[in-house]
Structure 1
Amino acid sequence: MPTGKRPALDDATRGRVLFGGDYNPEQWPEETWHEDVRLMKQAEVTSVTLGVFSWSKLEPRPGERNFGWLDRLMDLMHGNGIGVVLATPTASPPPWMGHLHPDTLPRDADGRTEWWGGRQHFSHSSATYRRCAAAVTEDLAARYGGHPALTMWHINNEYCTYDWGDEAAARFRHWLRNRYGTLDALNEAWGTAFWSQGYGDWAEVLPPRRAHYLKNPTQVLDFKRFTSDMLLECYTAERDIVRRHTPHLPVTTNFMPLWAGQDAWRWAEEEDVVSVDLYPDPRDPLAAQHGALVQDMTRSQARGPWMLMEQAAGAVNWRAVNHPKPRGLNRLWSLQAVARGADAVCCFQWRQSRQGAEKFHSGMVGHAGEQGRTYQEVRQIGADLRRIGPHVAGTHLTAEVAVLHDWHSWWAGDQEARPSREVAYPDVLAAWHRALWQAHLATDFAHPEHDLSGYRMVVVPQLYLLTDTAVDNLLAYVRGGGTLVCGFLTGIADRDDRVRPGGMDARLRDLFGIRTLHEWWPLEAGETVECEGGLRGTLWSEELEPDGTADTTTRYRGGELDGLPAVLRKGRAWYVSTLPEPEALRALLTRAADGAGVRPVLDGLPDGVEAVRRGGLLFLLNHGREPVTVDVAGTHRDLLTDTTVTGRVTLGRYGVAVLAP
């Protein structure tokens, strides 16, 4: 391997799509392990993740090590040709740690301790926790770094803890000192002249704990930034340990999809493999689009192939009502992930637990066992991935449209005192992505400061906070010939959540042809506003005065905003001051894309059919329960059935075709 090159997912996949899942054999007698291996080989499982929540098994008492059971498992996997993604067990400390070291337990904003008995009960700021986590990670890496079964490291699991305790407060102050340097700078950034909040001593600065009334918004914003950074420190500390022992092996940790607690753009730069857990609701009519959004975002963070670390083979256990996946849906969604860039498809978990909090969460082998429908479908997925793996693994998906997303903007816009609590950033983001998905336009995600020059069209569903660098980047993109379509409530605040003069960055107002943004007019839940051309807006509207340089493509009709612009267009820059209903938003973005020279993946697709091109392959996915016929020009080979397709292909209920030229 060349000096300086980090290992990547293809170092673990070796020209195939990995298939498997979390394996928790410590929950079962050893005679079950051999039965598991038989079933894994039958289902063509190629990878298992071991040790995710095994800290108390590995270290039953402080400093004691119990590796014998894991030795036997590693040998068993290797002897049967199954690779191991070995996890550090640090997401769930043993009870002895909290008992002996209460400082390792996090506290909530009300000062209440989160005790052991669940999971993720650790303070990211605790020096004791970090020391113990490093010790067990060091011993794991030293013992198994040379084991031939080991293919990848998985650090911790779903980093998602907050801590408002005293040790976290001390680290927060240290973090703020590094960010601002002086108390004067902090007071300026936080706007502490408001409500007599000025700080005269660093000891006075605390996390945003329970308050009588509204908390300081920039203090809350910085605490979210701090939390993401502290968790990242925990990850990189363990990552660096395993890298030292195994510089040739890739390292990952699993994101939760679109979770508010991590700046995943920054985290992804610290990972060799970007992985995500994905659990759409089988009863949600928009579940397939939600899956596509998460997959597009994860692929964009990875800048190439990525890993689906967890999905459910059937039902989960944490919704109010937990529905199983209907026949064929697990296969459809697994292949959708591959279509959108996944080179590994894994489940939580291999064998469904009989005890504990997740005994009703499905497994690849469910309570029904080998004869159960779930396991039989798992076998089909394994066979499918074997067939297409050599043709698709390591290939990329090319998109000409980018959706801009930034966690800091989300954090800042999600404050308590805002114009409307009906406006939820994830919902707005999903609505815009859904419109592009339904128009069959291949889409990446990008940070607003990323290089955007490779995209014909960039859309901004909503970015309340934009740094000066981000604004300059958008201006340069449009000057360079790109098409920009921007949604409401964008460019309102600077990096410190300070409202910009005029209520929107002046450079953006000039870009869109807005002289004055007079008022924001948020809408009540369920309320709509009429516009010309049959467009109906939801959630939001704005009282805009154009400067005469832009075309008003759509005006409001009726009400206080009658005759005022709803959608402005100035050259290649569009501004949409409401959230159009789905069909109208799809039509608007299709029109803008057409003007930018962006074409759909395939024309004339039936409703509910998704088309994705990855590498030289065309994936066709039927998200409906009824068979459909899709017209495809020319002759192709369907890799799933090893049959020739000419002119058209029929997809059954939840059917998939993977067509090679």
Structure 2
Amino acid sequence: MSTQHPASGARPAFSHDGIAFGCDYNPEQWDRSVWREDVDLMREAGVDLVALNIFGWSHIEPRPGEYDFDGLDEILDLLHAAGIRVNLGTGTASAPPWLTARHPEILPQVEDGTTRFPGGRQAWCPSSAVFRRYALELVEKVAERYGQHPAVELWHVSNELGCHNALCYDDESAEAFRGWLRARYTTIERLNTAWGTSFWSQQYSDFAEILPPRLTLSSRNPSQVIDFHRFSSDELLGYYRAELEVLRRHSSVPVTTNFMVTAHIRNLDYWQWAPEMDVIANDHYLDNRLAAPTAELSFAADLTRGLALGGPWVLMEQSTGAVNWQPHNLAKAPGEMTRNSLTHVAKGADAVCFFQWRASLQGSEKFHSALLPHAGTDSEMWREVVDLGHTLDRLDEITGTRVQADVAMLFSWESWWAADGESRPSHGVDYLSQVHAAHASLRRLGHTVDLVRPGADLSAYKLVIVPSLYLVRDAEAEVVSNYVAAGGHVVITFFSGIVDEEDRVRAGGYPGAFRELLGINVEEFAPVLPGQRLTLASGMSATAWSERVRARGAEVLDTFADGPSAGRPAITRNVVASNSDSANTPGVARYLATSLDPDALDAVLRDAAAEASARPQGDEREPGLEVIRRATAGHAADGHTTAGDAPRSYLFLINHSAHDVETPVRGLDLVTGDTVDNIARVPAGAVRVIREDPAR
């Protein structure tokens, strides 16, 4: 694998021979007599990339300024001798007890002003200068010692930055926040305008008066809250850059950190972080608190690929089975771990790694699954792990290919923060649920979706979905309008385009930034209570939300038959005359003024995709079969090869259902080694990867 973020210029690329199969390893938890056995078993399983020193601080610096690298030296050399490459952590994820005992001022404060104490992990404030000083001293020592070690293939800064401590409200954070605000707004007058502080007598006379948005007796200033999220994301990114700078002085090895693109982590704007990474890496665990955990996995993988700008990426962590931190930690069914892993590969991952190698016997994660379970090698889990390693070896030729998609969806962490504010039209609607609903619908219809940031170039896509993009800048909205004016097709859902980047409502009627494009005007939101059903004139059902829409040139496709917006448009379609000589047909902008039930949403998006000539990869008649294509440059999303390119494309057939399925394709199945002539049969719960025959 060779993968480099396209925006990173001359930065070092992450190179690995084929698809990496990896894990976190914590040798400090085990007697040294176990280490050689572990390395031998890693080789048996096919593990060829191991993350070390993620939580090693208290072991390599047991007392201030006293370093002991003997154990890390030994395990690095053992892995290197076995041909296993190393993803080396800087060791700074959690402060050792001596540091918090000596400097309790580094401990984080939460929004009610109370301190969080050591005993868990990430017990440090991102704005703490003291923590940063000690941490960077450690990074310097680690980088000096291992910057040229031949086993080191990748540097791993800290671990899951911001997982627990992204938002810190202490006095040091307050001062850093004020500095960030001065740089952003320059004058207090400009800040007052941006935050709308004329409301509730909140006008500031000096930056020194500003605090983080700690808990108040009423709802807080929403613009202040959004800016605090932006600041907090930037503050941790600044910390990442500080470690990166130290590593660059001693090593030319690529550097990354593991993102947390998942349903329950939202505090970092990874669109801002991604250009700083030499390779995009993500941690993902099935969230069994969700109604459809596998659908969320698919979404997270697509979004991670979007952060990589379509290039290969690294799945840094996942679980073989149950985790330990959910209310109900469900074991995976036989074959599910392999199916999850190959779904990530299908969606662009060129490395599949796990937390962790050997299941811990003590500590908070002792019941978290691992490649080598408590039951040992005489277990179904171990046998599936070994089989997965062999399967990944057979897929090595896929590395470097790119996922094919002609549907895009806009996604924004800023909009997530803003749309889910304390004071909003309905707490029965949240941003991520609407994004997930649209993505899940497209997945059911057989479409692969690229997740892109607002303002990204959309010209390569036949259909673009804009779900509940509440906060959008003028320039970002203009990109969507220009895309449609050039012949593109877009579907925009309710609560989009409402405010600008300062959370200021766009006056003149909703949906604000998209009103003219859609040919409508929304006079008022009319959400409904939880459990209340809405019916459309077509018979389709919806819930949660309605709007009092007026068509201003748009065609009304459906209306509300009941509820507070009865008789008003619910679904509209606006034809936009082309402003492009290259566009053969006019563009089309559709609007959904309610939260449609899944079947209804499928029907609307099916029609939109058909009109846009966006062809699905899969067949919605087999909803349990996920079909994804990876290909070299020069392949269209439908698998056809453009002139001048050697044909090389791979069709992933992922059967999430409990019955066997068949699908038409010709080629070689890399999983089984069998030739496929016209029809591939995929057993229940299995995955097939077909190198497609270019002559099909």
| TM bucket normalised to smaller | over 0.9
Mark the CA change 1:285 to 1:638 in structure 2 (over 3 Å): closer, same or farther: farther
Cα distance in structure 2, aligned partners of 1:326 and 1:602: 24
Cα distance in structure 2, aligned partners of 1:412 and 1:558: 30
Say whether residues 1:378 and 2:385 are aligned partners: yes
1:4 to partner: Cα distance:
5.0
Secondary structure at the aligned position of 1:56 is classed as helix
Equivalent residue in structure 2 for 1:556, among 548, 555, 560: 560
Is the CA contact (8 Å cut-off) linking 1:282 and 1:324 kept in structure 2? no
Q: Deviations over 1:167-224 (max 9, x none)?
A: 0000000000000001111111111111111111222110011211111111111101
1:53 to partner: Cα distance:
0.8
The equivalences for 1:1-400 within 5 A come to: 5-9=10-14, 11=15, 13-14=16-17, 16-160=18-162, 161=165, 162-258=167-263, 259-281=265-287, 286-303=292-309, 304-389=311-396, 391-400=397-406
Say whether residues 1:643 and 2:674 are aligned partners: yes
Aligned to 1:438: 444
Secondary structure at the aligned position of 1:292 is classed as helix
Is the CA contact (8 Å cut-off) linking 1:606 and 1:630 kept in structure 2? no
Say whether residues 1:586 and 2:602 are aligned partners: yes
Cα distance in structure 2, aligned partners of 1:552 and 1:194: 38
Cα distance in structure 2, aligned partners of 1:604 and 1:483: 21
The one-letter code of the counterpart of 1:544 is V
Mark the CA change 1:604 to 1:494 in structure 2 (over 3 Å): closer, same or farther: closer
Is the CA contact (8 Å cut-off) linking 1:257 and 1:276 kept in structure 2? no
Q: Comparing 594-603 with 568-577, which one deviates more in the overlay?
A: 594-603
Cα distance in structure 2, aligned partners of 1:95 and 1:502: 57
1:282 to partner: Cα distance:
6.0
Cα distance in structure 1, aligned partners of 2:294 and 2:31: 38
Cα distance in structure 2, aligned partners of 1:614 and 1:605: 22
Cα distance in structure 1, aligned partners of 2:245 and 2:261: 22
Is the CA contact (8 Å cut-off) linking 1:493 and 1:504 kept in structure 2? no
Cα distance in structure 2, aligned partners of 1:599 and 1:219: 43
Cα distance in structure 1, aligned partners of 2:256 and 2:326: 31
Aligned to 1:632: 664
Say whether residues 1:567 and 2:571 are aligned partners: yes
Is the CA contact (8 Å cut-off) linking 1:613 and 1:619 kept in structure 2? yes
Q: Comparing 129-138 with 75-84, which one deviates more in the overlay?
A: 129-138
Is the CA contact (8 Å cut-off) linking 2:498 and 2:513 kept in structure 1? no
Aligned to 1:448: 454
Is the CA contact (8 Å cut-off) linking 1:282 and 1:325 kept in structure 2? no
Say whether residues 1:577 and 2:593 are aligned partners: yes
Is the CA contact (8 Å cut-off) linking 1:328 and 1:653 kept in structure 2? no
1:245 to partner: Cα distance:
1.7
The one-letter code of the counterpart of 1:600 is P
Mark the CA change 1:4 to 1:562 in structure 2 (over 3 Å): closer, same or farther: closer
Cα distance in structure 2, aligned partners of 1:507 and 1:118: 45
Cα distance in structure 1, aligned partners of 2:369 and 2:325: 11
Secondary structure at the aligned position of 1:379 is classed as helix
Say whether residues 1:620 and 2:672 are aligned partners: no
Aligned to 1:595: 611
Equivalent residue in structure 2 for 1:418, among 424, 433, 439: 424
Is the CA contact (8 Å cut-off) linking 1:208 and 1:215 kept in structure 2? yes
RMSD: 1.6
Structure 1: which 5+ residue stretches go unaligned? none
Secondary structure at the aligned position of 1:445 is classed as strand
Aligned to 1:546: 551
1:452 to partner: Cα distance:
1.2
Cα distance in structure 1, aligned partners of 2:95 and 2:611: 55
Aligned to 2:496: 490
Cα distance in structure 1, aligned partners of 2:215 and 2:564: 39
Instruction: Count matched residues.
Output: 653
Aligned to 2:585: none
Mark the CA change 1:217 to 1:281 in structure 2 (over 3 Å): closer, same or farther: closer
TM-score, reference length from structure 2: 0.92
Q: Deviations over 1:432-460 (max 9, x none)?
A: 00001111112101111111111111101
Secondary structure at the aligned position of 1:386 is classed as helix
Aligned to 2:578: none
Is the CA contact (8 Å cut-off) linking 1:348 and 1:363 kept in structure 2? yes
Secondary structure at the aligned position of 2:357 is classed as coil
| Identity %, equivalent residues | 43
Aligned to 1:525: 530
Q: Comparing 349-358 with 191-200, which one deviates more in the overlay?
A: 191-200
Cα distance in structure 1, aligned partners of 2:290 and 2:566: 36
Cα distance in structure 1, aligned partners of 2:340 and 2:188: 51
The one-letter code of the counterpart of 2:613 is G
Secondary structure at the aligned position of 1:176 is classed as helix
Mark the CA change 1:124 to 1:604 in structure 2 (over 3 Å): closer, same or farther: closer
The one-letter code of the counterpart of 2:672 is T
Secondary structure at the aligned position of 1:242 is classed as helix
TM-score, reference length from structure 1: 0.96
The one-letter code of the counterpart of 2:457 is D
Secondary structure at the aligned position of 2:538 is classed as helix
Q: Deviations over 1:304-344 (max 9, x none)?
A: 11111111111111111211111000001101110110000
1:365 to partner: Cα distance:
0.5
1:561 to partner: Cα distance:
2.1
Secondary structure at the aligned position of 2:403 is classed as coil
Secondary structure at the aligned position of 2:91 is classed as coil
Cα distance in structure 2, aligned partners of 1:482 and 1:8: 35
Secondary structure at the aligned position of 1:344 is classed as strand
Q: Comparing 96-105 with 558-567, which one deviates more in the overlay?
A: 558-567
The one-letter code of the counterpart of 1:521 is A
Q: Deviations over 1:103-161 (max 9, x none)?
A: 21111112211111100111100111111111111111110011111000111111121
